[in-house]
Amino acid sequence: MLPWLSRTIDRLALGPAAPAPMAGADAVARRPWREPLLDAALLGFVVLGTVAWVPSVLLALESDQVAFVVAETVIYLGVVAVFVVRGVPHRPRAWATVVLQYLLSVTLLVAIGPLGAGPVGLFAFPVITAVFLGRRAAWLAVSLTTLTLLGVAAMVALGTVPWAGDAGGDPVLWVILAANFLLLDGMATVAVAGLAAGFDGSMEQARRAGGQLEDERARLAEANALLERAMDQRRHAERKHLMLGLVVEQAANPIVVTDPDGRVEYVNAAFTELTGHGALEVVGRPVVETGCLGAGTGVEEVLAALRGRRTWRGRFTATRAGGAAYDVEVVLYPLRDDSWAVTNLVVTLRDVTREKELESQLRQAQKMEAVGTLAGGIAHDFNNLLVPVIANVQLVRELVPNDDESYDLLGEALEAADRARALVRQILTFSRRSERDRHPVRLTQTLDQFHGLLRASLPPGITVQRVDELRDAVVMADPVELHQVMVNLSANAGHAMREKGGVLTMRVDEDPPWYPGDTGPTSAVRKHAPHGWAHISVADTGHGMDRRTLDRVLEPFFTTKPAGQGTGLGLSVVHGIVESLDGELRVESEPGVGTTVHVWLPRLEGGTSREPRARRGPRRGNGEHVLLVDDDEPVLRATGRLLSRLGFTVTPVRDGGAAIALYRERPHDFDIVLTDLSMPEVTGIHVAEEVERLGIGTPVVLCTGYLDALARLGAETARVAAVITKPFDAASLVSVLRRALERAA
């Protein structure tokens, strides 16, 4: 009945929304508010109990109630002990507290009677138990209080209490008191227990709400973390998108983005720089109409690739907005989304004008190298053929009277041999294998010497103009080479204007080299000239050349002249000379307008030109003994006869090994050794090394059709006195031999 009443009161007090209080001792033990309340109650009991305990003990001693003094003192000390000991769990401390309070109340009731604090203490006992220990312990306390009052009634009836004869000594009165006490104390206990349970419920609700709040806070923190990560990813994606946009916009190569049908949606800055067309001009137009893909059959391939939305690569010759042509490499490829559907087409362009020019130069260099190798290979044999021709004709001509017709015929033969020798030298110059005498040369001084001869050599109707903007330019060159350059260029210009006449302009200035595709002269060139450039240009107003002819103009043996009027080596020789001088050569031409050849040579700083020395007449020998070595029998015989006629004593030997053996036997018999360079088994270098090794000091002169770098190094190592180039005449031969003998002496 009473528990049901308690639950009913709980529902009425807390309402239907209040959660059921936690059951059991563990539930009570987890009520955090009870522990500080218990500590506060014990503190109040200790403080106030001291005030009440002292006079009570004194009065009880005066009345000889020793048992009361002992009981009250023990209870008081027990409460103090419970207050002091803090490491004990709440429930044992609470039970100890309410039991001590119950014992104190019973002691006071038994010792003093109903007029003391005992009944109040018993009334408070269930209430305090309900607060500190919960509802079940409170009902136990109510029951114990009721039994205590009934026990007191029995003690009153038996007269065992000291106050049994007083006004409160009626047993029936105590039974009535016990019944009413049970009712009132039960109601108070139920109310207090209900309040405590409600407070527990509120605390539980707060705890659950706090837990839910923590869970919600955790979920919110997780959501915030996810949101922050998403924002970081978005910011990263935006930065990446911006970076990619800048990469595309600032890319060195032009980029065009079109829709799947090939209409332009975007072009970067490099596209405008290359083509001259701005974005507003091309966006929305088909890409094939922008001019960047050139024209002709290649465009059909691009259109097929656009329609098929596939990758394509190729090269075109396109036209800029101003009309200038340029070569471009095109790559077209589709952009696809996750479903592999084509969303856009991308066209990348690369200007390959300079690259094609370099490729053309490389092919030209390879052709010239091949011909040069061939020229160097045949030069020796060809010159060997010319040596006996020139030597024998000179010897025979000396035997013929000057007024004899044969004398003139032999002179014409010598002129033909000289032209053949000049042709070989042109070939060797073209292949850069000929010997040169290079020194600082004032450019305009050489041109002044040539200018006087130029007017007489040109066809009538051609006017020569000279423009000198750089009078003090000094270059490192062979004057003969410069003369040959100007002769070849002027001859080509004169031939181009032979029918209609025109103007031939020679200009000297300091403009730096430029290349096809440049807007003008620029210092950003492949070759470097520390002290600047000297620029020579020879321009004519002749018929000019088309692009196809211009592409082949530097090829050896290529000529536009009729058969028998040119060798095709003119510009090739010029190119070989200019390249050997670390210079640059460019040819401009337009049909019907004319041709201009540009030559750039590196200038010298503070160089002074060397004046040409006057030639001395040929000298003769004085009977010096010459060891002549050559594996070619005609050359050996012709050279030997020529040396004998020039006053030398000659011992001819056809083999290098035999010459070395002969020299070892008679080293002091020979004044000089004249040996061919290229011989089988034992070369002229080996002969020179052996002569040097014997240490007699006999000078050695090498004779060769050409002298490459390796042979030159060998000649320097073997300390060769001089080198003479085949074919030679009597004057040059005796001059070289006399200089070598004089230095050795």
Phi then psi for residue 255, to 5 deg, are: -130, 135
pLDDT for 371 equals 66
- pLDDT for 35 beyond 90: no
Q: State the CB neighbour count (10 A cutoff) for residue 242.
A: 10
CATH number of 436-602: 3.30.565.10
- pLDDT for 484 beyond 60: yes
Cβ–Cβ < 8 Å for 32, 212:
no
pLDDT for 681 equals 86
pLDDT for 1 equals 41
Q: State the CB neighbour count (10 A cutoff) for residue 249.
A: 13
Per-residue confidence band for 160, with pLDDT thresholds at 50, 70 and 90: confident
**Whole-angstrom distance, CA of residue 246 vs CA of residue 257:** 15
Residue tagged 């003369």 (tokens): 483
Helices and strands counted in the chain (H then E): 22, 17
Cβ–Cβ < 8 Å for 333, 258:
no
Q: Span 559-586, mean pLDDT?
A: 72
User: For 274-312, b where at least 16 C-beta lie within 10 A, e where not — what string?
Assistant: bbebeeebbbeeebbebbbbbeeebeeebbebbeebeeb
Pairing of strands 649-653, 325-336: unpaired
pLDDT for 26 equals 41
Neighbour order of strands in the sheet with 325-336:
264-267, 255-258, 342-351, 325-336, 312-319
**Whole-angstrom distance, CA of residue 434 vs CA of residue 707:** 7
pLDDT in tens, 648-706: 999 999 999 999 999 999 989 999 999 988 888 888 889 988 988 888 889 999 888 76
- pLDDT for 6 beyond 70: no
Cβ–Cβ < 8 Å for 185, 142:
yes
Q: Where are the domains of the chain?
A: 2-215, 255-351, 360-415+618-745, 436-602
How many Å separate Cα 703 from the centre of its chain?
56
Q: Which of 35-44, 46-55, 375-384, 571-580 has the lowest mean pLDDT?
A: 375-384
pLDDT in tens, 406-447: 888 888 787 777 767 766 766 665 555 555 567 788 887 777
Query: Could you say which DSSP state residue 263 is in?
Result: B
**Whole-angstrom distance, CA of residue 406 vs CA of residue 400:** 7
- pLDDT for 345 beyond 90: no
Burial of 570 (0-12, 13-18, 19+ CB in 10 A): buried
Greatest Cα pair distance, the chain, in angstroms, is: 198
Looking at CATH, the fold of the domain delimited by 360-415+618-745 is given as: Rossmann fold (3.40.50)
Q: When comparing pLDDT for 382 and 669, which is higher?
A: 669
pLDDT for 561 equals 63
- pTM assigned to the model: 0.43
Over pLDDT 90: what percentage of the chain?
Answer: 8
Per-residue HEC secondary structure of 606-651 comes to CCCCCCCCCCCCCCCCCCCEEEEECCCHHHHHHHHHHHHHCCCEEE
What own/partner pairs with CB < 8 Å and gap ≥ 24 does 522-527 have?
A: 525/584, 527/582, 527/583, 527/584, 527/602
Angle at which helices 66-84 and 90-112 cross, to 10°: 160
Residue 708 zone, left/alpha/beta (φ > 0; ψ -120 to 50; rest): beta
pLDDT for 652 equals 94
Query: Can you list the positions of beta strands (E) in 683-726?
Result: 700-704, 722-725
Residue tagged 């050569």 (tokens): 585
Angle at which helices 353-399 and 570-580 cross, to 10°: 110
Over pLDDT 70: what percentage of the chain?
Answer: 77
Q: Which residue stretches of 431-566 are H helix?
A: 443-457, 479-496, 547-551
pLDDT in tens, 57-69: 777 677 666 777 7
Which residues on neighbouring strands pair with residue 182, listed in sequence order? none
pLDDT in tens, 616-651: 434 677 889 999 999 888 888 888 988 998 899 999
pLDDT for 709 equals 52
Q: What is the mean pLDDT of the chain?
A: 77
C-alpha torsion 633→634→637→642, nearest 10:
-150
pLDDT in tens, 512-558: 766 544 443 333 344 667 888 888 899 999 888 888 778 777 776 66
Cβ–Cβ < 8 Å for 581, 475:
yes
Per-residue confidence band for 122, with pLDDT thresholds at 50, 70 and 90: confident
pLDDT in tens, 163-207: 655 545 567 776 776 677 667 766 777 777 777 777 777 777 777
How many Å separate Cα 569 from the centre of its chain?
47
Pairing of strands 462-468, 502-509: parallel
Q: Span 365-378, mean pLDDT?
A: 68
- Please give the class, per CATH, of domain 255-351: alpha beta
Residue tagged 């009277």 (tokens): 401
